[in-house]
Every structure is written in C-alpha cells, then in structure tokens.
Structure 1
Amino acid sequence: MAESNVKNSMTQTVEGNNLIFTRVFDAPRDLVFQVLSESEHLKNWWGPNHWTLPVSKMDFREGGSWHYCMESPDGDMKSWGKSFYKEIVEPERIVYEDFFSDEEGTINETMPGMKVILTLIEHEGKTKIVSHTQFSSEEALKSVLDMGVVQGFTETWDKLEAHLERIQ
C-alpha cells in the first residue's frame, strides 16, 4: 500500500488495482451531494485547472448516465467521458462506472474503465468524501496514474472546494 498526503489534507492511497482519495470539504453534506449530482454545478468545477466542461449531458438516476467533454484552455484538446450510474443513495453515496468515450458517447475500449464509489460522510459540520476507484487490473491503474490522474484529481477537488466556497 502506498499512501501520500497531498495539498489541502487530501490523502491518496494506491492498493492493488484501487485508487482511493479522501478529502474533507467545508460544506454540509447535502450541498456537496448537490454539486456532485447536478450538471450546472459540475460545469463550474469538474476537470483540471483551466479546463472547461462545455458539454455535460446528465441523467442523474440509477440506470442513468452522464456524457461530458473536458476541454483544454486553448481548445486544442478534448477529453470525452461517459459514466453510468449504478447506485445513488442521497446524500451518502454515488456509485458509477466511468469510461473514456468519443463525442457520440461510444466507449473507448482501448482505455481503462473504472468503477467509482463516492462516499459522503458528515464530519464535524463538514463533509468528508472518500472516492474509491477500482480498475480492472493494476496495469490499468498504472496507465491512468501515468496520465497524471493524481494531479488532475487534486486540481479538480481544489476547484470543487472553491466552488463550494462561492455558493455558500
């Protein structure tokens, strides 16, 4: 097990084919759940620094999906993704499968998919999020780590924190 502390008291743990991020946000759990589950909120914080979310088509329900596009600051890079919601327990847990896709939403089978379990825990008036991501293999996890997922995830959660501060 490899664990490290990153900016703003976020912890990152790699365990076999699992990647786990934990961070406490200074916001009530109901609000954090809302910004995780509504497309209009996601457009304000999803993605690494300076990237935008010009496309976000969401059907937030068990059996629903989210098709999105992250775009680089200069517009030269677009990263499409598609998620499928498996379990939603408001305001405690969101379980989904996430894949790289194309503009039409066709899954890219050459890229690793992942199962994500987001757990929201009330923590001294704040909300602790545990993001547990399971990959099909350690090799699939390594390929995503090599793409810079830790930095991207850290920046994304920094943007989430800033968005929560703005809307409270």
Structure 2
Amino acid sequence: MTNNKMISRVENERFLVLERVYNMPRNELFQLFKEPEHLKRWWSTDGWEVTVCNVDFRPGGVWHYCMVCVDKNQEEYGMESWNKTIYKEIIEPEKIVYIDYFSDSEGNINESMPSPVVTLEFIDLGNQTKLISRSEFNSVESLQVVLDMGVLEGINQTWNKLNELVEKMNQGK
C-alpha cells in the first residue's frame, strides 16, 4: 500500500508544488479531471458541493463552476464561491495547464485576487499515478494570500475526496 498523503512545498518563493499518488492508472485518473460528472463528485472542500459545472475541455476552453457551502455547521453556510479556469494546454493523459481565477456567476474575473498558472502532471506508475500540481504565482505576496486563505487545507480536502472516488471506483472493478 502506497502512502498517498499530499506532499507540499514552496519553490523559488512563487511556486506552490503539491504531489500525491493515486491507486489508479494515469488514463483513468486523467478522465476524472475532464468530465463534469466526475468533477462534481470530488472537486470541493469539506462541507461544500459543486452546483454549477460547465466544462469546455480544450486549449482556450473554460471551466466555470460554483461551489456552495452546504454544511450548516460552517460559518460560510449558504455562501457561493465562483471560479473560472481557462485551459492553456492539454496533453492527454499527461498534462493540463490552466489559469485559475476567482470569478462571479457571469464569469467576470476578480482581478484583485491571485490567479496562478497551474500545471497538473500525471506521472504513469503503472496501476498508480503520481499527480503533481505546480502553481506559479506572479509574486511572493499573491502566493502568501492564498496560503493565508487556507489553500493547503482546501486542496488536501479536495484531493482526499478524489482519493475516495478513486477507491470507490476501484471497488467497482
């Protein structure tokens, strides 16, 4: 059994690098990042759900989505968080490069918030895949803003949900 906890580090002051191994072949794991029906099952933090998920998975395409806090015990209960992703490069099943924006429900980008360029690499380990996320921020300060917002905890929760989906899908084989 592989230790599949998320590993995180900051490189060159502006890069947030995250890694985790999933017990799923690369081709299959990649599909979970491109299909809206899969993304809705795992892309959110604890107590939040994706309620809108529009994906145009191609270079230049947009993924516009909304997460809503559904946990009555959270201070943010009922709050919506809109995001817009613009895909820059897709090499299936090896890599996805995109710019990650905070947005509103119309897809207007919030220019006051950090918008990192994210590179997801899917490393083939046979029946497993190492996922490496490399987020490049335009400044040390913008990286610090998202760290202060709890990005590490949020991505860890999201990747835990992805792992739960992977394990569930593996049981169904």
TM-score (norm 1): 0.93
Equivalenced residue count is 162
Distance 2:126 2:30 in 1: 17
2:103 matched to which residue of 1? 101
1:116-155, aligned counterparts within 5 Å? 116-155=118-157
Instruction: Provide the secondary structure at the position in 2 that maps to 1:109.
Output: coil
Gaps of 5+ in 2: none
Aligned to 1:13: 9
Is residue 64 of structure 2 the alignment partner of residue 63 of structure 1? no
Q: Select between 116-125 and 19-28 the one with higher mean Cα deviation.
A: 116-125
Q: 3-state SS of the aligned residue for 2:33?
A: helix
After TM superposition, where is structure 1 displaced by more than 4 Å over at least 4 residues in a row?
none
Please give the alpha-carbon distance, in whole angstroms, between the structure 2 residues aligned to 1:23 and 1:9. 6
TM-score when normalising by structure 2: 0.90
Q: Using the alignment, how far apart are the partners of 1:123 and 1:167 within structure 2?
A: 18
The CA distance in 2 between the partners of 1:77 and 1:106, in whole Å, is: 18
Q: Note the residue ranges of structure 1 that are not aligned, 5 or more in a row.
A: 1-6
Deviations 1:104-149 (A, max 9, x none): 0000011110100000001242000000001110100000000000
Identity of aligned residues (%): 48
- 1: distance between equivalents of 2:4 and 2:168? 17
Instruction: Looking at secondary structure, tell me which structure has more strand per residue.
Output: 1
SS at match of 1:144: helix
Structure 1 vs Structure 2 CA RMSD: 1.2
Structure 1 residue 100, shift from structure 2 partner: 0.1
Q: Partner of 1:49 in structure 2?
A: 46
